């Protein structure tokens, strides 16, 4: 039975039993504690925990999931995989254990002809919590299972909670005996390879208190509404029904593995190490396909970094199997063909998906060429000195300069028998991240808020009455003032804190649109609004600074958005939609927005594309956008169901989360039709102008357009005009001739630089000859020490090359940097290295361990400039000790 058929049978079975079929949520999750959905229940979490009222009493879904905590184990065993699908059925205060167990047994064992999976009833085992006599009795009654195939287990195996106070309860797991070829007899407690778990039924009936881990917490009592959460592993059921050895061999995975084996000439099953790499490829290519399909783009942070790591591990695994050409153009289509039956969007959007994946592979291949050389050299140095630890700064250099992920450095170093100073690397990364966060902390200087305090406000007062679409002012009551340490009764002048109002006209930052600016005014207080966020669904929080008086909880204030700010924000957001439509009009549908940001006067838009656009394409895009403004296309906003919006052709942008009712913004009808929660102008002409200011790369296969909008757009063009005018006056040339005149100046400057460089080279060559002629014999080695105002390394190499080749010789040249520190370069000829001398060892001896290089050439720095001569004078003594 194909995996797609297993999926559809599951949904049809539960739909026929009153369950609402809920589509899979996208893999990226809005939950700030998760990067990706990692369990089937995650989209239903607010209903299971009581945070929100469920819209249906019972539901069913097949949820896409990604787990990457044990990514290094993928392929080493046949159990670990990063992408999987979880079939689930859920009851929210409706049915409980009896029906959950009955449903699971019926679907698992009913004949295939009747819509079931046809599993052999004699090979099914179940586990229950040791205290759950009720579940054990139901299994005996409903399934007729004998007592020996109902296994009682403890909290670690058969009691579920989320690890925090909230719902919890016992669970019951279904296992299938795959036979003696897979392991020992005796049930799941003996061998979980032979007895494969395929379904877990969670009975949420208790509320747990504070406590660590899976055990040791108190049970506070029964839940007022008991819930059911089940999860059937789709890949595991496919493994059973397709009689496959593991999920790597099912119909949605094996074709990718086979294609990798074909490319590399490796036979699966012949060698364990090769099998591991083939499994890594099969798993990671499928995972990358699904992440890309849901809008995750490769990057250096968060979700993007996970995807980048997965893609690069797949590419490197293929290379380690001996295939040197680009691999993803061969493998990704195989994964697409496997997954299209269940997820048609991977085929519909494959042009964009493949473009991003192939660009990432191209970039990584270049990274491998550069970084591998640096890493190999560093490892050789460590081994030459008898060490086994690659320094943290070297690992950081590989990451920061060459784009080598630390995971790859760890893997490649381990393969060569060297460990990595992970603590040193982590410290340097922490410093870098701290610098990057400085601006963000300065902007949001009110400090992080306690989610518990926010939830208390939400529970006490309900959702914020949000009026941003309707008005710029509201009369509002101050519900809470929250500082970094908790709730405050009031806020004095000059202080910054977060304020919750019962109603607000302020737009909270979302969907790429910056938050509104404005003010709160009351009888005895004035405060400026610095930022507006939505930290919990339904709750709007304002960061404010009191400028005069005192803001007191319970006060009534006038909340007013700055109308000029809002106008600029509307222009910029609508301008983003216009630019996106113009981009797709010029470049085609694969140029789909993958990120944006807009504020008054400014917008930026990221999109997947390989290579720079060029002046002609940028000009065409800008013209298409401004033609739409000149035509004054109407802007229409409508609410509809998500299926209706998709049927209409509205673009759902990646990284956004949509409910069942969505807001569709149209500019010129079908010309621009997107799901969007932002504020917009009423006619395109109100945008004023879209002036492209830059087009840059923001990662492999990703480009960024930036533009000035509205009045700021006119200002940008005016500044450009003034700049051209000044250049024309200074060069005494008509404007039309400026490009040729500037090009001529640059050619002359380049020629002058070349002449100067040639003069420096000749001067250095002449000095190198003089230095070599004056070399000193130290115990049979010709030694040159000198200082220079130029390139120390170049002069050391030139001097070494003028020393007699038949005698050991070396040149040590020092130079002073602009910062008042010294640089030292040492170069040895072949006779010197053959005699056992090492440039790297000499540099580190002279500089107290700093510096590095090879036996022939090494360089280091860090000593004060005024001690450079003393350092050089110490060189002969090192050779004397050696002699």
Q: What is the pLDDT of residues 230-244, one digit of tens each?
A: 999 999 999 999 999
How many whole angstroms separate alpha carbon 14 and alpha carbon 727? 73
Residue matched to tokens 């989360």: 657
8 A C-beta contact, residue 845 and residue 875: no
How many whole angstroms separate alpha carbon 502 and alpha carbon 734? 62
Query: What letter does residue 515 receive in the DSSP assignment?
Result: P
pTM attached to this predicted model = 0.62
Is residue 881 scored above 60 in pLDDT? no
pLDDT, averaged across the chain:
88
- pLDDT number for residue 370: 75
Strands 159-161 and 150-153 come out as: unpaired
More confident residue, 766 or 600: 600
Lowest mean pLDDT across 219-223, 531-535, 578-582: 219-223
Nearest C-alpha neighbor of 343 from the set 25, 4, 35, 631? 4
* Spatial CB neighbours of 223, under 8 Å, sequence gap ≥ 6: 167, 204, 205, 206, 207
Tokens read off for 316: 């490197």
- pLDDT number for residue 214: 65
Compute the residue count for the chain.
883
How many whole angstroms separate alpha carbon 281 and alpha carbon 310? 9
- pLDDT number for residue 213: 63
- Other CB atoms within 10 Å distance of the CB of residue 738: 14
Query: What letter does residue 124 receive in the DSSP assignment?
Result: E
Lowest mean pLDDT across 366-380, 609-623, 726-740, 786-800: 366-380
- Is 80 known to sit in a ligand binding site? no
Is residue 118 scored above 90 in pLDDT? yes
Q: Give the H/E segment covering residue 160.
A: strand 159-161
How many whole angstroms separate alpha carbon 260 and alpha carbon 400? 31
- pLDDT number for residue 434: 61
Confidence grade of residue 419 (pLDDT, cut at 50, 70, 90): confident
Tokens read off for 66: 């990604």
Tokens read off for 771: 């230095």
Nearest C-alpha neighbor of 809 from the set 792, 843, 832? 832
18-36 mean pLDDT = 85
Nearest C-alpha neighbor of 871 from the set 827, 821, 818, 824? 824
* Spatial CB neighbours of 574, under 8 Å, sequence gap ≥ 6: 635, 667, 680, 681, 684, 686, 687
101-130 mean pLDDT = 96
Nearest C-alpha neighbor of 856 from the set 842, 838, 876? 838
* Spatial CB neighbours of 182, under 8 Å, sequence gap ≥ 6: 191, 193, 194
- pLDDT number for residue 485: 81
Is residue 57 scored above 80 in pLDDT? yes
- pLDDT number for residue 286: 96
How many whole angstroms separate alpha carbon 246 and alpha carbon 235? 9
SS3 465: strand
pLDDT digits (tens, 9 = 90+) for 289-305: 999 998 888 887 788 88
- pLDDT number for residue 374: 81
- pLDDT number for residue 426: 81
Is residue 447 scored above 50 in pLDDT? no
Handedness of CA 289, 290, 292, 293 (dihedral sign): positive
pLDDT digits (tens, 9 = 90+) for 482-496: 988 889 999 998 899
543-552 mean pLDDT = 93
- pLDDT number for residue 656: 56
How many whole angstroms separate alpha carbon 108 and alpha carbon 116? 6
Confidence grade of residue 816 (pLDDT, cut at 50, 70, 90): confident
Percent of the chain with pLDDT over 70: 94
pLDDT digits (tens, 9 = 90+) for 421-443: 888 888 877 776 565 444 434 44
- Other CB atoms within 10 Å distance of the CB of residue 624: 18
- pLDDT number for residue 818: 65
Confidence grade of residue 562 (pLDDT, cut at 50, 70, 90): very high
pLDDT digits (tens, 9 = 90+) for 659-709: 678 899 999 999 999 999 999 999 999 999 999 999 988 766 788 999 999
- pLDDT number for residue 612: 85
Is residue 469 scored above 90 in pLDDT? yes
- Is 65 known to sit in a ligand binding site? no
Percent of the chain with pLDDT over 90: 55
- Is 676 known to sit in a ligand binding site? yes
Q: Give the H/E segment covering residue 87.
A: strand 83-92
Q: What is the DSSP string of 313-367?
A: HHHHHHHHTT--S--HHHHHHHHHHHHTTT-THHHHTHHHHHHHHHHHHHHHHHH
- Is 573 known to sit in a ligand binding site? yes
Nearest C-alpha neighbor of 41 from the set 210, 162, 128? 162
Confidence grade of residue 448 (pLDDT, cut at 50, 70, 90): low
């Amino acid at each position: 039975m194909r995996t797609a058929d297993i999926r559809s049978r599951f949904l049809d079975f539960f739909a026929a039993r009153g369950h609402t079929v809920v589509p899979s949520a996208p893999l990226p999750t809005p939950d700030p504690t998760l990067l990706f959905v990692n369990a089937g229940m995650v989209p239903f979490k607010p209903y299971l925990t009581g945070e929100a009222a469920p819209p249906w009493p019972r539901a069913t879904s097949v949820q896409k999931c990604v787990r990457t905590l044990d990514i290094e184990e993928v392929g080493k065993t046949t159990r670990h995989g990063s992408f999987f699908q979880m079939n689930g059925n859920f009851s929210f205060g409706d049915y409980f254990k009896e029906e959950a167990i009955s449903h699971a047994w019926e679907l698992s064992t009913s004949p295939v002809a009747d819509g079931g999976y046809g599993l052999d009833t004699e090979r099914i085992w179940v586990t229950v919590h040791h205290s759950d006599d009720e579940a054990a009795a139901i299994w005996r009654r409903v399934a007729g299972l004998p007592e020996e195939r109902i296994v009682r287990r403890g909290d670690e195996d058969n009691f579920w909670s989320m690890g925090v106070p909230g719902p919890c309860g016992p669970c019951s797991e279904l296992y299938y005996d795959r036979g003696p070829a897979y392991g020992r007899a005796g049930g799941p407690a003996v061998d979980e390879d032979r007895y494969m778990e395929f379904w877990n039924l969670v009975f949420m009936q208790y509320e747990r208190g504070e406590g660590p881990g899976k055990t040791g917490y108190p049970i506070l009592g029964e839940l007022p509404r008991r819930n059911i959460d089940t999860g059937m592993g789709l890949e595991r059921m496919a493994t059973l029904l397709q009689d496959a050895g593991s999920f790597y061999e099912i119909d949605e995975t094996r074709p990718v593995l086979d294609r990798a084996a074909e490319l590399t000439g490796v036979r699966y099953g012949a060698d364990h190490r090769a099998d591991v790499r083939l499994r890594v490829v099969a798993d990671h290519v499928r995972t990358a396909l699904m992440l890309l399909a849901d809008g995750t783009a490769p990057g250096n942070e968060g979700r993007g970094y996970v995807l980048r790591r997965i893609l690069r591990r797949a590419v490197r695994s293929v290379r380690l199997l001996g295939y040197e050409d680009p691999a993803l153009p061969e493998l990704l289509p195989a994964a697409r063909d496997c997954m299209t039956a269940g997820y048609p969007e991977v085929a519909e959007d494959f042009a964009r998906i493949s473009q991003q994946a192939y660009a990432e592979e191209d970039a990584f291949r270049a990274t491998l060429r550069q970084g591998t050389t640096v890493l190999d050299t560093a490892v050789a140095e460590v081994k030459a000195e008898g060490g086994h630890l690659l320094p943290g700064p070297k690992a950081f250099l590989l990451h920061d300069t060459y784009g080598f992920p630390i995971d790859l450095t760890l893997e490649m170093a381990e393969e060569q028998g060297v460990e990595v100073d992970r603590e040193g690397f982590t410290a340097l990364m922490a410093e870098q991240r701290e610098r990057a966060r400085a601006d963000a902390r300065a902007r949001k200087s009110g400090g992080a808020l306690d989610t518990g305090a926010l939830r208390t406000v939400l529970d006490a007062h309900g959702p914020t009455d949000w009026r941003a679409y309707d008005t710029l002012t509201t009369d509002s009551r101050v519900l809470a003032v929250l500082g970094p340490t908790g709730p405050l009764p009031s806020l004095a002048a000059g202080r910054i804190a977060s304020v919750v109002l019962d109603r607000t006209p302020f737009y909270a930052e979302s969907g790429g649109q910056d938050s509104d600016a404005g003010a709160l005014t009351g009888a005895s207080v004035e405060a400026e609004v610095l930022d507006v966020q939505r930290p919990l669904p339904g709750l709007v929080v304002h960061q404010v600074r009191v400028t005069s008086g005192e803001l007191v909880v319970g006060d009534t204030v006038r909340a007013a958005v700055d109308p000029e700010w809002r106008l600029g924000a509307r222009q910029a957001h609508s301008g983003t939609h216009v630019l996106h439509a113009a981009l797709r009009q010029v470049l085609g549908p694969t140029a789909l927005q993958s990120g944006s940001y807009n504020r008054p006067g400014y917008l930026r838009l990221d999109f997947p594309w390989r290579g720079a656009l060029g002046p002609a394409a940028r000009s065409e895009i800008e013209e298409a956008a401004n033609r739409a403004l000149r035509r004054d296309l109407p802007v229409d906003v409508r609410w509809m169901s998500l299926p209706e919006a998709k049927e209409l052709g509205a673009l759902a942008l990646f990284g956004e989360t949509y409910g069942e009712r969505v807001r569709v913004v149209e500019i010129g009808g079908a010309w621009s039709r997107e799901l969007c929660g932002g504020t917009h102008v009423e006619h395109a002409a109100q945008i004023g102008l879209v002036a492209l200011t830059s087009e840059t790369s923001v990662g492999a296969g990703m480009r960024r357009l930036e533009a000035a909008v509205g009045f700021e757009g006119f200002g940008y063009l005016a500044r450009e005009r003034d700049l051209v005018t000044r250049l024309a006056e200074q060069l005494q040339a008509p404007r039309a001739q400026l490009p040729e005149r500037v090009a001529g100046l640059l050619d002359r400057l380049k020629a002058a630089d070349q002449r100067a460089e040639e003069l420096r080279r000749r001067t250095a060559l002449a000095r190198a000859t003089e230095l070599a002629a004056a070399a000193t014999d130290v115990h049979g080695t010709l030694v040159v020490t000198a200082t220079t105002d130029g390139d120390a390394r170049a002069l050391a190499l030139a001097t070494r090359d003028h020393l007699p080749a038949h005698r050991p010789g070396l040149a040590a040249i020092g130079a002073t940097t602009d910062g008042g520190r010294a640089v030292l370069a040492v170069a040895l000829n072949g006779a010197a290295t053959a005699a056992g001398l090492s440039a790297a060892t000499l540099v580190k001896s002279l500089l107290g361990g700093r510096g590095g290089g090879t036996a022939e050439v090494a360089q280091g720095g860090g000593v004060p400039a005024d001690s450079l001569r003393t350092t050089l004078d110490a060189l002969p003594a090192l050779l004397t000790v050696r002699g």
